[in-house]
Structure 1
Amino acid sequence: MTLFKKVTGLGTVALLALGLAACNSDNTKIDDGKTAETTVTAGDSVDHTITGIDPGSGHMELTARALKEYDLTDWNLTSGSGAAMTAALKKAYDKEEPIIVTAWSPHWMFSKFDLKYLDDPKLVYGDSEEIHSIVRTGMKEDLPEAYTVFQRFNWDMDDMGEIMIAIEDGTKPEEAARTWITSNKEKVAVWTDGVPKVNGDEINLVYAPWDSELASHNMMKLVLEDLGYNVNLSMVEPGPMFSAIADGSADATFAAWLPNTHKTYVDKFDGKLDDIGINMVNVKQGLAVPTYMKDINSIEDLKK
């Protein structure tokens, strides 16, 4: 029986409705009879969502600014811990699903996953950054031995990366840091050469809840303990981190990303912090995607 016979008696309007419904699929009919495929945009592929980290971080502040600068008004920025962000990245990566995350280097995720930064033509995230060692005012007089070590402290992304990857693979932070120190005695000796040992002097280090800072502060904790210090480590959000150093309740951090990420905090506590040197150069931050997302290479692409 033909389709026409089945619908006889439904009337012209019903026939037209049936015909239109038959065309209402993932494809769209166009005048020349050819089928046009529906285009899925970058935003559609990730539900217009960027997966972020802790809401108090300078990185999230810059990402919110990027959404404004690039006129991405219909996009959402989710917040959470760094661990939650990397868990979401792993879940998507394992299935080769699209995802956009807030990212920074050094970080173990660039070793575990094949990722690329999105170009930032407006330089909202700046160019490369530096990590600075920040101490409380008066520390030079109170803890001169540690102050000298902190002034000399300098390493590179590969150094930090060794500790970060070991921790991610299941090694305890102090154990991973000790392995690095044992393998890099000459580098550590540059920081500690001629510095006299102390007898249980207490020192308080504070750091932001990022894998990179977990690595650096556990490493420095062991260096200081080898010099005789009693070291207390505290992990807090960036705002309280700078506040603690400014009010003297903490002595130092090696987690100040400048000139962009933590500029707001450095400006806020101007005159109450002592920036005593750069401990790492050429660090980077921005938005990143897996390399299998071949059609997305710039933040500008998110507007399409």
Structure 2
Amino acid sequence: MFKKLLGFTTASVLALGLAACGSEDATTEETPAENGAATEETSAHIGEQVDFEIIGIDPGAGLMNITINDVLPEYGLEDDWTVVESSGAAMAAALSSAYENEEPIIVTGWSPHWKFSDFDLKYLEDPLNLYGGAEDVHTIARLGLEDDHPNAYAVLNQFQWEPEHIEYVMALINEGTDPAEAAEQFANEYADLVATWTDGVDSVDGDELTLLYVAWDDVIAGTNVVGSVLESVGYDVELTQVDAGPMWAGVATGSGDATVGAWLPTTHADYYAQYEDDFEDLGSNLHGTALGLVVPTYMDIDSIEDLVVE
């Protein structure tokens, strides 16, 4: 089993009692708006339902930076809306509670994520394309890893999978399976895929490795899977949970050997630029991710422009 160190992550306690304004007095008649933007009455109704709050994740995450520093000001939302800092787990808990009671909620979201298989959700349209297109998840290794641990480097360099693979692991974890056990189950179920990651790799005898990861559901899943595969060829793997900044700093300084959870080119762009000469980018291990504002499909809202208060 992995040795795991619990990192210091921000996890704000969210008030989950979101008011749902569903009475006749709160209902307003919608009228078409110029350029696709909502009218003041419609926007106020939506904002009041969620207390003009967007439930976010951990502060410092690229998704949060884009939402706060780009999306809110560019769409003219900064004077009315607040992005609540929390964590990936707290955001998911708030979404689960609201969805169960068919209450309105807006969250910062990304995919792949188990919430899209458990709930009927949709991304709000982003006409200004501030969240960008699909991102990739990259594997980032410390300088010198190939010389020190060539077999681990080979596994990390060959690690690549598809969204349906990671969602399989995420679903198991969300259903209560221990992440390490979910990783082993995946390795057994997808043995042919795993064999491509270990092709040409020699076994070792207890060489120690440290993988750094942030507490995002997809990164937890991917890190545990890679850790399991590395242990299957003889490595003694330590999985260390940290925030995004320390994750990048740890690889750059060599206190961690690698991470398989670097979202690029947008989410972790600032960290990539800050440490660019101090790590090796092994390239994409997962393609087809997405970022944006997410709402349940039962909400009558389709675009970020609908949040604008005229």
Specify the TM-score bucket, using the shorter chain as the normaliser. 0.7 to 0.9
Return the TM-score normalized by structure 1.
0.86
- 2:71 corresponds, among 61, 66, 85, to 66
Superposed CA deviations along residues 194-235 of structure 1, whole A, max 9, x for unmatched, are 211111111110011101011011111110001100101001
1:229 corresponding residue in structure 2: 235
- 1:155 corresponds, among 145, 161, 164, to 161
Query: What's the CA shift for 1:26?
Result: 4.1
In the alignment, structure 1 residue 130 sits paired with structure 2 residue 136: yes
Distance in structure 2 (CA, Å) of the matches to 1:26 and 1:301: 21
SS of structure 2 residue aligned to 1:243: helix
Distance in structure 1 (CA, Å) of the matches to 2:153 and 2:99: 43
Which has the higher Rg, Structure 1 or Structure 2? 1
In the alignment, structure 1 residue 57 sits paired with structure 2 residue 55: no
Instruction: Tell me the percent identity.
Output: 49
SS of structure 1 residue aligned to 2:92: helix
Distance in structure 2 (CA, Å) of the matches to 1:198 and 1:263: 35
- 1:246 corresponds, among 252, 260, 266, to 252
In the alignment, structure 1 residue 200 sits paired with structure 2 residue 189: no
After TM superposition, the structure 1 = structure 2 runs for residues 1-304 of structure 1, keeping only pairs within 5 Å, are 26=25, 40-64=44-68, 65-73=70-78, 74-294=80-300, 296-304=301-309
Superposed CA deviations along residues 5-41 of structure 1, whole A, max 9, x for unmatched, are xxxxxxxxxxxxxxxxxxxx949xxxxxxxxxx7553
Superposed CA deviations along residues 87-134 of structure 1, whole A, max 9, x for unmatched, are 111111111111000111010011111000011111111110000000
SS of structure 1 residue aligned to 2:51: coil
Superposed CA deviations along residues 273-293 of structure 1, whole A, max 9, x for unmatched, are 110111000111111000001
Return the TM-score normalized by structure 2.
0.84
Distance in structure 2 (CA, Å) of the matches to 1:83 and 1:71: 29
Superposed CA deviations along residues 132-180 of structure 1, whole A, max 9, x for unmatched, are 0000111111111111111111001110011111111111111111111
Distance in structure 2 (CA, Å) of the matches to 1:268 and 1:302: 34
Distance in structure 1 (CA, Å) of the matches to 2:100 and 2:200: 50
Unaligned runs of 5+ in 1: 1-24, 28-37
Unaligned runs of 5+ in 2: 1-23, 27-40
> CA RMSD, aligned part only?
1.4
Aligned partner of 1:298: which letter?
Answer: S
Give the aligned length. Answer: 269
Distance in structure 2 (CA, Å) of the matches to 1:75 and 1:224: 45
Distance in structure 1 (CA, Å) of the matches to 2:303 and 2:280: 37
